[in-house]
Chains A and B, each alone.
Chain A
Amino acid sequence: MALKSAIRDLRNKPDLLFLRLPNLVSLVCIVVGVVWLLLLPLNEYSRRTYISENALLPGQVHAYFTGSEQNIFRGYKREIEGLLNEGAEPPARREDTTLNPTYVEQQDSRMAYMVDVANMSTEYPKKLRSILQVAGLKVATQKYEYTSAGITHQGENVYGIIHAPRGDATEAIVLVAAWRTADDELNLNGVTLALTLARYFRRWSLWSKDIIFLFTPDSKSGTQAWVDAYHDLHPASVQPLPLKSGALQGAVVIEYPFEHRFHSLHIVYDGVNGQLPNLDLFNTAVAIASGQMGIGANLQEMWDHNDSYEARLQTILRGMAKQGLGYATGAHSSFMPYHIDAITLQPKGQGWEDEMALGRTIESLCRSLNNLLEHLHQSFFFYLLMESQRFVSIGTYLPSAMLIAGNFTIMAIALWMRTGYHLRSAPSEPRTPQKEQNPAPVTEKTEQTARISGPPVVERLLALPLTLVTGLHLLGLVPLWTLNTLSHQFFTSVTYTFVVVDVVLPLVLAALLSNGLGLFSPIVPQQYLLIKSFSLLLLGLCLSTLATLNFSLSFIIGLLCAPLSFIGRLQGLSAPLRYGLAVFGLVLLNLLSPPTILLGACWYFGVSVETVLTQAAFGWDVWGMWTQVVVWCVWWPAWLIGCVLLGSSVF
């Protein structure tokens, strides 16, 4: 009964229903969303990992890669080292076409990028070719070139295929060794190990899937060029592949960029745009490394993970940051968009495991993948890992991002209803301001309209709010286009320009808006609410869609946009107080603007803005990364509208 009367009371108090309650519900949504995420590391909400696909049988086979293979390894290594000593530059080069040589000489820090095209070594592809051919593989090469932000990336991929003695060349596994690791170190041992494994695998008769050994110059562009060309979706600057095999079932990237023995394996699994490989692949790698080989497995650079709540949460947050930014974390990332599950194995630390142990791990992993009867599909594709053997699946974590996205939708619906029911809440108010909406406003008929439409439903003036919201979202294309087309040396200045634009533009728009942009009749208070309603509706829409594709990005943007739910045009305050509050709010909001956040993050992590934006442009051009689209076409317009509304309290 109490509840019933409470609801009845609510109906009679539109002020409470439309003003206080939505704010409260939105706030609760955000708080619950954040708390939800913080609860995930607890044992009650997370699960231990398990192998879902029975065919994988991780660690059930004996790995024979030992003994005499080590001599082969040393032999190959000597051959490659011979090339290095002869002075041939290791592959992987970036050429800055916008810098002239004299300028480059003055810029020592840029020397790493500077490459003399004339000296471009063809020795390495030749060497790899001959080694693979002698080992009995079919070998082919592929040249590629990408240009992004005025920097040219070029190189030559070499790959060899072992045709499965027991297979029909319809499926294949890829082993990748890049000359430069994801951290831009020379991956000498990794490449050598891959060569040794190629020779070793060739002699086994048990393969039922083809095995492709791919050697790329770097970890950023090489695999992308290769896997694009493998599926015939390569741009014109990338050569097609002369030699192909079947559908790729999985890919493992081998890195071993140092000479000493290692302690544990670091498994990198994030793909472009936050796509993840099937959890079974990760689990298999962990099971083989720690269970069969006795090598520990790390993830997300958590070297001393003590399985405490803090460590788990930190692992999740690091995973979310990588997923949210959506960049390629290694050579494996490029495989993910083609639905090929892939991971990178990085040996880390000082220990007593040698390259043979890594080789055995990879052998065992390949044997497991070889067992697969169907594409990996059993286990999860959406998960957050908090430790090598603990995870939460999408059903458990998705509500947190959805709640945050939902808060915008709730607010949008509340604002919509509030604009419609204004008459009832303030019956004494003059009706004319809300009634001027009709394309052919007939003032004398207003009274009649009010009488006929009966229930206190107010007509809404939709043209201006719709135009403004759509227009500002389209305006987001400008920074998107600019930052993906300009040459990299302008990036820093462009970012600062955008900071300034973000301060000025909302005020200009607010001033224009106060007389209806000159196109429409003067704006009425209802329209400010409608603008906010549409903007938040769109934000909620985009974020909840995004949550299904890239949970972390949606969560992060949702949190950064959270204040937008609660700000709007200030009303009913005395002028000085209103001005003060508006200016204060604008300053705060400007601290949360996309360019400011970018600058702040760069300052915090000690990287230059130019590097970040160059990487982002490269991601857009080469990897098909769309984090920028979300930033400039979802976050920035919503933020801008928030600022405009707040700024309008001054005019």
Chain B
Amino acid sequence: MAIDQRKVAVFAGAFVLRLVLVFLFPSLPDLLTGRVEVSTPVNSFKRLQEGLFLYTRNVSPYDGGVFHQAPLLLPLFALLPDVTQYPLPTALFFFGVDLVNAYALSTISDSGQSVKSRLHSAMRKHIRWDGASVAAWFLFNPFTIATCLARSTSVFTTSGILFAVSNAVEGNSINAMLAIGFASYLSLYPALLFVPVLLLCYDFHAEKSKQSLNTTVFVLQHTAIFLGSLTGLLAISCLITGNFWEFMSATYGFHLLVPDLTPNVGLWWYFFIEMFDSFRAFFLGVFWLHLASYAGGLTFRLRRQPLFIVSSLLGVFAIFKPYPSISDASLYLALLPLYRHLFPLMRYTFFAISALLYSSLLGPAFYHLWIYAGSGNANFFYAITLVWSLGLSILLADFLFAGLRDEWEQDHPEAQGKEVKQV
């Protein structure tokens, strides 16, 4: 296999940049680990340390009520040397995960699935970025770098999702199912991506195979693999922790019931702080239903472009998840350049990006005013998280518009280049 020099340069550059940042600013990782924008209760490295401490001393990691991450992370991190004394191995491990994620992303890009799928072929195929550029966009995104330096465990979920997609577009549907199972095991919400990833796999096989594919068998097979992988992971977790229900309620129960209302960049915490307890259960249901409903709707509407469904859903998750962080936004932004050919159709990129830039500067400032200076209050920060979500929503809506317009132009070649008018 010929080694792509540009890709190597990008990967090496990203690695060196991270290394330089760690060496020049030794306190930066710990600073970022403490930021609410980066670390949420479900991906915080600090909380992982707490769980690890309990785990290595043979106490149930969930006893303190602090750790809410999947148990399989514990034996993995127990292998790494103590981070307080030797921070470098852990840092290098996270750098590696980032590079692996970028590799998966470049594979997705090189497959060309984003411009040409079984049922759809984009109108502007020639406007494209190659894998190296897409990987560079991901690796040099400040949000990705911050997530990586903060050692947020979201990167593993990101890996799971990206590998599920990259395997699916290359036809390794079993691996794809295993990867999406792994991601769902870690963070629960990727389970909503199961159907689009299944569609990706199905489209690949349907295109390649000579005779027609038996849909029912295919779906049943892959669902079984997905569920099997989940069951396997849960069984191992059960062996590790020893108490099935305790870890289920501390991890998935925590994801579902949102008991920790530490501020984050999402929309849930403030809403549920303000809520009277009697309405809590109802609105939890509403919020989750709202989040889950996108999976159905988008899958139905965008059936012809399964990868586009995955990308859009990741955007939805980055906005409406109970514990979103900038790592979710960075994953969504990483998938956007796959759709470089849609950029000419997008109308509000500059405004959306400006809103995101404004909120990423004003967010920390207002958080500082609220928590440290004491001269602001929670509303300051919440207002900025609204702007952040608004920026992402504009971007997502614009992206969806561009995707739909592209589909529409394919169906109506005569209407190409005409301005859209509301009738």
A453 with B369, Cβ < 8 A, contacts A445-B126, A537-B357 known: no
Which of chain B's residues 342-398 have a Cβ closer than 8 Å to chain A?
344, 350-351, 354, 357-358, 361-362, 365-366, 368-369, 372-376
A541 with B416, Cβ < 8 A, contacts A339-B373, A548-B365 known: no
Encode contact with A along B222-246: 1 for CB under 8 Å, 0 otherwise.
0000000000000000000000000
A381 with B375, Cβ < 8 A, contacts A449-B126, A454-B418, A548-B365 known: yes
Q: B361: which of A275, A453, A455, A542 is its contact (CB, 8 Å)?
A: A542
- Is there a chain A Cβ closer than 8 Å to B260's Cβ? no
Q: Which chain A residues lie closer than 8 Å to B419 at the CB level? A: 454-455
Q: A541 to B358, Cβ gap below 8 A?
A: yes
- Is there a chain B Cβ closer than 8 Å to A375's Cβ? yes
- Is there a chain A Cβ closer than 8 Å to B111's Cβ? no
- Is there a chain A Cβ closer than 8 Å to B54's Cβ? no
B127-135, B183-191, B263-271, B273-281: which lies at the interface:
B127-135
Q: A457 to B344, Cβ gap below 8 A?
A: yes
Most buried by B among A417, A442, A537: A537
**A88-B350 Cα distance, complex, nearest whole Å:** 67
- Is there a chain A Cβ closer than 8 Å to B124's Cβ? yes
Q: Which chain A residues lie closer than 8 Å to B130 at the CB level? A: 439
**A339-B344 Cα distance, complex, nearest whole Å:** 49
Q: A453 to B124, Cβ gap below 8 A?
A: yes
CB distance from B329 to the nearest CB of A (A): 17
Q: Which chain B residues lie closer than 8 Å to A541 at the CB level? A: 354, 357-358, 361
Q: A375 to B344, Cβ gap below 8 A?
A: no
CB distance from B387 to the nearest CB of A (A): 12
- Is there a chain B Cβ closer than 8 Å to A377's Cβ? yes
- Is there a chain B Cβ closer than 8 Å to A544's Cβ? yes
Encode contact with B along A412-454: 1 for CB under 8 Å, 0 otherwise.
0100110000000000000000000011001001000101111
How large, as a class, is the contact surface on chain B?
A: 20 to 34
Most buried by B among A377, A438, A452, A537: A452
- Is there a chain B Cβ closer than 8 Å to A459's Cβ? yes
Q: A548 to B369, Cβ gap below 8 A?
A: yes
Q: Which chain B residues lie closer than 8 Å to A545 at the CB level? A: 358, 361-362, 365
- Is there a chain B Cβ closer than 8 Å to A409's Cβ? yes
Most buried by A among B344, B354, B375, B417: B375
**A591-B126 Cα distance, complex, nearest whole Å:** 49
CB distance from B386 to the nearest CB of A (A): 16
- Is there a chain B Cβ closer than 8 Å to A16's Cβ? no
A454 with B357, Cβ < 8 A, contacts A382-B375, A439-B130 known: no
Which of chain B's residues 100-136 have a Cβ closer than 8 Å to chain A?
123-124, 126-127, 129-130, 133
A381 with B373, Cβ < 8 A, contacts A459-B344, A548-B362 known: yes
Which of chain A's residues 451-466 have a Cβ closer than 8 Å to chain B?
451-455, 457, 459
Q: A549: which of B133, B344, B365, B418 is its contact (CB, 8 Å)?
A: B365
**A377-B373 Cα distance, complex, nearest whole Å:** 11
CB distance from A226 to the nearest CB of B (A): 19
**A4-B123 Cα distance, complex, nearest whole Å:** 37
- Is there a chain B Cβ closer than 8 Å to A136's Cβ? no
Q: Which chain A residues lie closer than 8 Å to B375 at the CB level? A: 275, 381-382
Q: Which chain A residues lie closer than 8 Å to B357 at the CB level? A: 537-538, 541
A549 with B369, Cβ < 8 A, contacts A445-B126, A537-B354 known: yes
The closest CB in chain B to the CB of A341 belongs to B374
Encode contact with B along A526-554: 1 for CB under 8 Å, 0 otherwise.
00000000000110011011001100000
Q: B372 to A455, Cβ gap below 8 A?
A: no
**A452-B361 Cα distance, complex, nearest whole Å:** 37
Q: B372: which of A337, A382, A449, A537 is its contact (CB, 8 Å)?
A: A337
Q: A442 to B374, Cβ gap below 8 A?
A: no
**A449-B128 Cα distance, complex, nearest whole Å:** 13
CB distance from A570 to the nearest CB of B (A): 25
Most buried by A among B124, B127, B416: B127
CB distance from A171 to the nearest CB of B (A): 15
Encode contact with B along A243-278: 1 for CB under 8 Å, 0 otherwise.
000000000000000000000000000000001000
**A454-B129 Cα distance, complex, nearest whole Å:** 21
Q: Which chain A residues lie closer than 8 Å to B374 at the CB level? A: 339, 375, 377, 381
Q: B417 to A453, Cβ gap below 8 A?
A: yes
**A78-B14 Cα distance, complex, nearest whole Å:** 68
Q: Which chain B residues lie closer than 8 Å to A413 at the CB level? A: 350-351, 354
Q: Which chain B residues lie closer than 8 Å to A339 at the CB level? A: 372-374
**A438-B133 Cα distance, complex, nearest whole Å:** 12
**A449-B366 Cα distance, complex, nearest whole Å:** 44
Q: Which chain B residues lie closer than 8 Å to A455 at the CB level? A: 417, 419
Q: A549 to B361, Cβ gap below 8 A?
A: no
Q: A438 to B366, Cβ gap below 8 A?
A: no
Q: Which chain B residues lie closer than 8 Å to A445 at the CB level? A: 126
Q: B124 to A548, Cβ gap below 8 A?
A: no
**A417-B350 Cα distance, complex, nearest whole Å:** 9
Q: Which chain A residues lie closer than 8 Å to B373 at the CB level? A: 275, 337, 339, 381
| A-B complex: 9 closest residue pairs judged by Cβ atoms | A454-B417, A381-B375, A339-B374, A545-B361, A453-B344, A545-B365, A416-B350, A545-B362, A549-B365
Pairs A–B under 8 Å by Cβ, sample size 11: A337-B372, A381-B373, A381-B374, A413-B354, A438-B126, A453-B124, A537-B357, A541-B358, A541-B361, A545-B365, A548-B366
Show the binding face of B for A, using Cβ within 8 Å.
123-124, 126-127, 129-130, 133, 344, 350-351, 354, 357-358, 361-362, 365-366, 368-369, 372-376, 416-419
Show the binding face of A for B, using Cβ within 8 Å.
275, 337, 339, 375, 377, 381-382, 409, 413, 416-417, 438-439, 442, 445, 449, 451-455, 457, 459, 537-538, 541-542, 544-545, 548-549
Beyond A459-B127, A544-B358, 17 additional contacts (C-beta under 8 Å) are A275-B373, A275-B375, A337-B373, A381-B376, A417-B350, A438-B126, A438-B127, A439-B129, A442-B126, A451-B417, A452-B124, A452-B416, A452-B417, A454-B417, A454-B419, A459-B344, A549-B369
